[in-house]
Structure 1
């Protein structure tokens, strides 16, 4: 990626009218590029997050182990999304989740100290941060309500409409756990939708 392409990428991610055009080079320089292999664990449960990532390409997930020791996927992260364990990063608490690459991919890492420096130096970056946090809370709230108020088929259709790349790339078992259903139920829903 050339410098201009990098700046365009970071303008897309940190899209905020308050950030000046010449600030994006400094923002880009605060990140470092990493190529990751499928299966790589970026954060383990019990460790304190010291950085977050922006996904240039690839599919990632967060997951926990339930009371029976089974993996439950809590979120998927796609291209041009932030891969972040905000509670651990900002509260400096051990993570309750694991982060894993589901495909080979490219990510941009920024550590906590560099992030704080950008917040201190660039006023528009603080505004972006407030907007991101608000949207993130809204998304989490919406997902928790949907899990309680929508049936499994509607949850699947919503995922299909809003984030089809997850259904194209993620293993069936992980999609099922993310939707809060069994593999068998997910297979049945997919067959019913195809035959309609």
Structure 2
């Protein structure tokens, strides 16, 4: 049965027609705060905020390192266990649409247009990762915070400060000092 509830306008950047049968392959997933998303699936975030993080075990204490955030309209994929150590956790309650990665692979073989969407998605993710890497390498934490303030204000407005600090690569106390200097 077709899922008429999915907000297709929110995902219009995927260039998938409203009547494309792919929409029927997605399953609605309501989630609560601190929900961990299962592996081997792709998700479209319709509502809520999801954080991707890693656990750094190199010190005496395990430290969570925030790597990315997903807002409404974003897509993220959780690979098979063992291929990536990333954990995807919701920071508040929300709604997503999930599809298995096996189903996605089938679509790519059947529909050449899906391959275009995949290439578009992958190139955007690669460009974002390279930009983030350059920002981290070339800038001070204050520069990074000011960059987020100017270019991604929704990060500052919606992400809890402890996760934002981790994303920038500093402690929450250091972030607090930066915020005092700027504001």
TM-score interval for Structure 1 and Structure 2 normalised by the shorter chain? 0.7 to 0.9
| Aligned residue in 2 for 1:32 | 27
| Aligned residue in 2 for 1:156 | 145
**Structure 1 residue 53 corresponds to structure 2 residue 53:** no
| Aligned residue in 2 for 1:100 | 89
Shift of 1:5: 6.2
Q: In structure 2, do the counterparts of structure 1 residues 119 and 155 end up closer, same or farther at CA, with 3 Å as the change threshold?
A: same
Shift of 1:99: 0.7
Matched residue of 2:96: which SS? strand
**Structure 1 stretches lacking a partner, 5+ long:** 44-48
Deviations 1:43-85 (A, max 9, x none): 4xxxxx3101110011110111111211111111111111224
**Structure 1 residue 128 corresponds to structure 2 residue 117:** yes
Q: Is the 8 A contact 1:6 1:28 kept in 2?
A: no
Matched residue of 1:3: which SS? coil
Q: How does 1:1-196 map to 2 (within 5 A)?
A: 3=4, 6-10=7-11, 12-15=12-15, 21=17, 24-43=19-38, 49-66=39-56, 67-68=58-59, 69-85=62-78, 88-89=79-80, 93-194=82-183
Q: Is the 8 A contact 1:59 1:166 kept in 2?
A: no
Q: Distance in 1 between matches of 2:105 and 2:118?
A: 11
| RMSD between superposed Cα atoms in Å | 2.0
Q: Distance in 1 between matches of 2:5 and 2:66?
A: 36
Q: Distance in 2 between matches of 1:193 and 1:128?
A: 40
Shift of 1:146: 0.8
**Whose helix proportion is higher, 1 or 2?**
1
Q: In structure 2, do the counterparts of structure 1 residues 74 and 7 end up closer, same or farther at CA, with 3 Å as the change threshold?
A: closer
